[in-house]
Chains A and B, each alone.
Chain A
Amino acid sequence: MPDQPASRPSLWRRIAESRNGLGFLFMLPAAVFLLCFLTYPLGLGVWLGFTDTRIGRPGEFIGLENYQWLNDDPVFWLSVFNTLFYTTIASVLKFGLGLWLALLLNRHLPAKNFFRAIILLPWVVPTVLSALAFWWIFDSQFSIISWLLMKWGLISQPINFLGDPWTARWSVIAANVWRGIPFVAISLLAGLQTIPQSLNEAAAIDGATPWQRFTKVTLPLLTPIIAVVMTFSVLFTFTDFQLIYVLTRGGPVNATHLMATLSFQRAIPGGQLGEGAAIAVAMIPFLLAAILFSFFGLQRRKWQQGAD
């Protein structure tokens, strides 16, 4: 092997100088991580959904049995309903309130940066820890909201925020909206700041009312960013786990179980990895729909800018 030392550096050099070789080399660390811990688990998750794997016992292929079982399981369908309800209501509220807040912040305000910094706080603090604060605020006996309402004479006994199915649903939605408004507001604010004020002024000179200026000038220009922001928001709301796990763990009587929490409950404490994976896989079609929506939002943006 006399030419080994000579050929080695040249091979190295060839890779380092070719665009594709170097590109491959540079992509390697990220690719290894994502293939091992993202792509492979994604495939494994789909496979596990077709098996009866339990914790500590390798499973066998059982075809669609998990899905047939889930199809007959009213708790699963309740969780699908809860997830859709939770996602729809929370996203609509986050969008409405977030856009309103963004429009407020886009005005000429003193200490604007200070407000922006404060408003982002709920998003920075770990969700589990702020959810604990909400747990305390929603306490069945010592809730501060109940106390205030009783003091003002609006109700006669404390509200059982997390103990009654419908109040529990609305309570977790309130906490989720609280957590999600900052992201929507700050992202939309960034979008609003790219809209030239002169367009609004031109519309105003032509006699447009503030409402017309909002619907005919601001909103159309903001649509592409709204599409992306809301896709993210919907995606993260749909797959939410932490908030529910802290506040209710899916209770009372499964009224707040989302697909993510049900999948956790069946798979980890329940030990039925296969069934849990099947529930997680059942979330994928919804997520794909959200991603496609985002894709077309981006396409439209390109078309508007007239690029490419």
Chain B
Amino acid sequence: MAKTTTDDLQGLEQFESRTRRFFVVWLPLACFVFVLLFPFYWMAITAVKPNNQLTDYANHSPFWVVGPTLAHMKYLLFETSYPGWLWNTMVVAVCSTFISLFASVFAAYAIERLRFRGARVTGLLIFLAYLVPPSILFIPLAFIVFQVGIFDSKLALILTYPTFLIPFCTWLLMGYFRSIPYELEESALVDGASRWQILTKVVLPLAVPGLISAGIFAFTLSWNEFIYALTFISSSENKTIPVGVLTELVRGDVYEWGALMSGALLGSLPVVILYSFFVDYYVSSMTGAVKE
């Protein structure tokens, strides 16, 4: 982790006039925040709008809602397979995250600390694996998934998501392990601890922030995954949220925008809630992958 400078943060900015600061900093920043947040506002307001206000811009201001309704949410939760998709997404995301963390902890420790022959090359290969995009893997993977006989099952997703999670988690954890002083391990070795004991009693407790970062990041990535879920799943009851909302709630030419936006809103909530609790971990894992 690169260190953040601690010298006077105010810097040269004290010489700026108030008006100049308004036009140079606050106005552009306000525009950025407005543009970045508007789609969410629009999603949320549409989700609670009664159908008669939805497209009637002449009589109702589109930016506000009179008498918000939960009808769309109710429809979604009780008349579609939405709760099932929510459950599937949760199961797939949790399982693939745990598999990936398990494999990555060992791999990262081996590459970073055991320094076996070829560790450096393995580290580079892991980084390259991170750069292989799902859009060139999904066709052969669909072929394999079909031949193994796990097509249209949650297992297909649980087994394929680690392909993009493991490289990422390993790369991130390598950075964390590197930041743990080697002397701690040496003193444990001198005291007669085995490698296993060092890993579980010394290194892992110290790497907890890294594990949390990698875990929530992996969870988010698998929650958001789309192309594998779209390709490997065909029956409605096995779909994940992004695929279910897109393929089952969009019917014909009459779009039910209220239900669609409620589906999008509810499907985003779990990751947004997770995110709101762990903002700093997200930032460190996102920037960690770039800075190492």
Contact = CB atoms under 8 A, between A and B. Distances in A.
Interface of A: 16, 19-20, 22-24, 26-31, 33-34, 37-38, 40-42, 44-45, 48, 53, 97, 100-101, 104-105, 107-109, 113, 115-122, 124-130, 132-134, 136-137, 139, 141-142, 144, 147, 178, 181-183, 186-187, 190-191, 193-198, 200-201, 204, 225, 228-229, 232, 235-236, 239-242, 245-246, 260, 263-264, 267-268, 273, 276-277, 280-281, 283-284, 287, 291, 294
Nearest to B58: A147
Contacts of A108: 9-11, 13
A284 B282 CA distance: 30
B119 A197 contact: no
B159 interface: yes
Nearest to A198: B7
Interface stretch (B68-76, B77-85, B109-117, B206-214): B109-117
A128 B110 contact: no
A90 to B, nearest CB: 15
B271 A126 contact: yes
Q: Decide if the interface of chain B is mainly helix, strand, loop or mixed.
A: helix
A133 B40 contact: yes
Given A42-B137, A121-B36, A133 B261 contact: yes
A232 B290 contact: yes
Contacts of A204: 12
Contact of B132 (A42, A181, A183): A42
Contacts of B261: 132-133, 136
Nearest to B159: A37
Contacts of B218: none
22 contacts: A19-B117, A23-B116, A26-B107, A27-B116, A27-B122, A38-B132, A42-B132, A44-B144, A104-B25, A117-B279, A119-B33, A124-B275, A129-B265, A129-B267, A139-B255, A204-B12, A235-B133, A245-B246, A246-B246, A264-B135, A267-B142, A277-B139
B11 A197 contact: yes
Contacts of B167: 34
Contacts of B109: 26
B175 to A, nearest CB: 13
Contacts of A291: 128, 131
Contact of B114 (A23, A122, A139, A276): A23
Interface in B60-115: 62, 99, 102-104, 106-107, 109-111, 114-115
B56 to A, nearest CB: 10
B264 interface: yes
Given A116-B283, A198-B7, 18 more contacts: A22-B116, A26-B107, A27-B107, A27-B111, A28-B106, A44-B140, A107-B25, A119-B32, A127-B224, A129-B264, A178-B36, A187-B290, A225-B290, A239-B136, A263-B136, A273-B142, A280-B139, A287-B136
